Amino acid sequence: MREEDGIKYIDINIHTDMTLTRPASDSPFIQGLHDALANETIEDNKIAIQKEIDFYTENIEMYYNKPHSSTFTYTIAINETQDVGLTKSDNNYELFYRNDTLEEIILISVDDLAEVENKSLARQNGYNAAQTIVNQVQAESNSIQPFASFTYNRIAARDWANNNATSASEFPSANVPGTDCANFVSKALNAGGIPEDKSGKWYRASTWGGWPGDNWFRTGYYNNGGVVPYMTGKGYFYKETNESKVFAGSIMNWTATSHVALVTYGDTVKIMYAQHGAVNNKDNVYRDANGVYVSNVNFYMPSTSIMN
């Protein structure tokens, strides 16, 4: 509990198991992919869309009918100075969804939260995802696409993040004043197979709490290097605005503050993440403001060049 300017803030975390009971065939996102497949006439494009359908079907089946620990974070703001006569007003409190980011706590009024799933939009997202794939196939046919010398295992990155989410933070330390969120994400990505890069300044400290590379323990928010600009600059990750596509092993990057986390769950509807920072935890359920508001988060997904 904390108090500011006469307003008392009480944080509430709800821990529960959630189970995906809808099969992949009933997913509006996958149905949208099938819509695009049915309308496609070029064989190479159809093969690419079917490959995407198979990937997301397998991804959903990984979670289907299996309970997953989930945490919902709320804050109640109580205005103790708002009196009406001799009794307090019935409207002296407000409920927020809380994001415990590295530098600040972001509160979103529950009245402004985006709906959990808009089925028509999700189906359109699937159709749009197929069109993006078609464009990629056409672009690749006209150029030679370089492939990385390593393979990124997104499940290995997820497992490392979940297994180490509650471990002690390495930073700040006696030598490094920085914080641990980007260090945590970098370690997860490295556990997934992305090699350290001395010349690119993406490498861990040689000793616990020592100096790592600038791109390893910074987010990129302050334009002084960071894991996000490094990964996108190398072509390893790309920004994805279609949240239905986001899967485990992707990067979450907050836009209003310096903070990153690793996505540990994505079934085309629900997204969860693990993080180090103000709190070290996992199983956080992502909720954001309605689309008419500016999103608090950008997602970055691994490119095909490191997934193959």
The per-residue pLDDT for range 188-231, each reduced to its tens digit, is 999 999 999 999 999 999 999 999 999 999 999 999 999 999 99
> Given this model, what pLDDT does residue 62 score?
96
Please check whether residue 121 is in contact with residue 29, taking contact to mean a CB–CB distance below 8 angstroms.
Answer: no
Distance CA(58)–CA(154), nearest Å, equals 14
Q: What is the pLDDT of residue 103?
A: 80
- Per-residue model confidence as pLDDT tens digits over 124-171: 999 999 999 999 888 776 666 566 899 999 999 999 999 999 999 999
For residue 79, the model assigns a pLDDT of 86
* Token duo for residue 40: 């496609």
- Cα–Cα distance measured from residue 261 to residue 183, given in angstroms and rounded to the nearest whole number: 10
Kindly give the parts of the chain with pLDDT less than 50.
84-89
How buried is residue 212: exposed, middle or buried, by Cβ count under 10 Å (0-12/13-18/19+)?
A: buried
pLDDT at 90: 59
Q: What pLDDT does residue 170 have?
A: 97
- Helix (H) / strand (E) containing 84: strand 83-84
Backbone φ, ψ for residue 149 (5° rounding) = -85, 10
What local confidence, expressed as pLDDT, does residue 60 receive? 97
Residue 20 confidence (pLDDT): 97
What letter represents residue 197's amino acid?
A: D
